[in-house]
A = this chain, B = another copy of it.
Amino acid sequence: MEPLDERSKQILYAIIQSYINKPDPVGSRFVTKKYAFGFSPATIRNIMADLEELGFLSQPHTSAGRVPTDKGYRFYVNSLLGQDRNPDTSGIESAFIDNFSRKLDDIKNDINGMFSEVSNTLSSMSSYVGVALPPKPEKTHFNRIDFMKYKGDHVVAVILTDEGVMKHKIIKTDPLLSQDDLNRIAEYLNSEYAGRTIDDIKSVLIGRMKADKVLWDKLISRAITLCEEILSFSESDIYFSGLHDVMNLPDFSDISKIKEISKAIKDKHTILRLLDQLSNNEGVQVMIGNENPVDEMKNLSIVTSTYKEGDSHMGLIALIGPTRMDYSKAIFMVETVAGCISRTLKG
């Protein structure tokens, strides 16, 4: 990407900010009025023409103003990501963080409630669609498992992790196993594996299974496979919110646009895979419009951030909105909320 001179940059940013603020194509006259660069419209026009040639802007039609392209947004976002972003945390922001942190702390033991709260907050503060993915199960730390006999030949297995992830599954077993048997198995598992990650347990298990095959270990290994199964990520572990509010954005005044974003949310598979890819890189990431590998989302942008517990990053949160997104705000929000989550998980 050839370097833009400072003046062109400033004008590009001005145009983008103006467009983000109000989705009207912005004309040269408007730029000179609103942002006092000290140049006449004609000069601005020249620069705009250059910017268009470089692919940062486009015209809906001759004689309309300019509109940022995805490439334009990308340039803008890169500059945002590059700069040190600590908007005055003394103002409302700080109050919000305190408040939100306290709320999280209250419900940190109920991971479901917590992440549904997170997605709600994200969406209501931004008016975009908020997404929250709880910690990846295999990264979490096994806390305890319990088995409960249920209706004769069924067993309910309940698993807890240190992070507060709680899952259960009802399975059919042979009715020979008594509740006592189950308790002993559970006790063994709890004492043996508490505190270790699921990944860890898995690898231990593989070695152990090779070692011996007595009944007891068979049961155990079956229990562990069960753990694995139970703790695997399921579609219902993804939290969305804000579809309703997003409809108020002018970008989605058309029903087909709404369908796009609603489809994106509905196809949890797709978005889960997409977010999974993003979760490999740490920190804030932005995916703009056509950068998105999923066809149905070429008109949408995603701003994500991973959160972590200690050193390992656990999961991520995201905002999905139109390409004409307030990236500055979105990035700030996502980053801040991720920070709160990390802090809560740590404490």
Q: Which residues of A contact B (CB under 8 A)?
A: 109-110, 116, 143-144, 146, 148, 150-151, 154, 156, 158, 160, 162, 164, 166, 168, 170, 236, 243-244, 247, 252-255, 258-259, 262-263, 266
Measured between C-beta atoms, what is the minimum distance from A193 to chain B in Å?
Answer: 15
Report the separation of the CA atoms of residues A339 and B328 in the bound assembly, to the nearest whole angstrom: 53
Residues of B within 8 A of A162 (CB): 151
Known: A109-B151, A156-B160, A156-B166. 16 other contacts (CB 8 A): A109-B170, A110-B170, A116-B236, A146-B146, A146-B158, A148-B158, A151-B162, A158-B158, A164-B170, A166-B170, A243-B243, A244-B259, A244-B263, A247-B255, A247-B259, A247-B262
Measured between C-beta atoms, what is the minimum distance from A306 to chain B in Å?
Answer: 25
Residues of B within 8 A of A160 (CB): 148, 150, 156
Residue of B nearest to A254 (CB): B255
Residue of B nearest to A166 (CB): B168
Residues of B within 8 A of A143 (CB): 150-151
Decide if B170 touches A168 in the complex (CB within 8 Å).
no
Residues of B within 8 A of A110 (CB): 170
Report the separation of the CA atoms of residues A164 and B170 in the bound assembly, to the nearest whole angstrom: 9
Decide if B148 touches A144 in the complex (CB within 8 Å).
yes
Residues of B within 8 A of A168 (CB): 158, 166, 168
Residues of B within 8 A of A263 (CB): 244
Residues of B within 8 A of A258 (CB): 247, 255, 258
Report the separation of the CA atoms of residues A190 and B245 in the bound assembly, to the nearest whole angstrom: 46
Interface hub of A148, A243, A247, A263 (most chain B Cβ within 10 A): A148
Residues of B within 8 A of A259 (CB): 244, 247
Report the separation of the CA atoms of residues A30 and B255 in the bound assembly, to the nearest whole angstrom: 31
Residues of B within 8 A of A116 (CB): 236
The 5 closest A-B pairs by CB, nearest first: A109-B170, A244-B262, A244-B266, A146-B148, A247-B259
Residue of B nearest to A246 (CB): B262
Report the separation of the CA atoms of residues A158 and B146 in the bound assembly, to the nearest whole angstrom: 10
Residue of B nearest to A147 (CB): B146
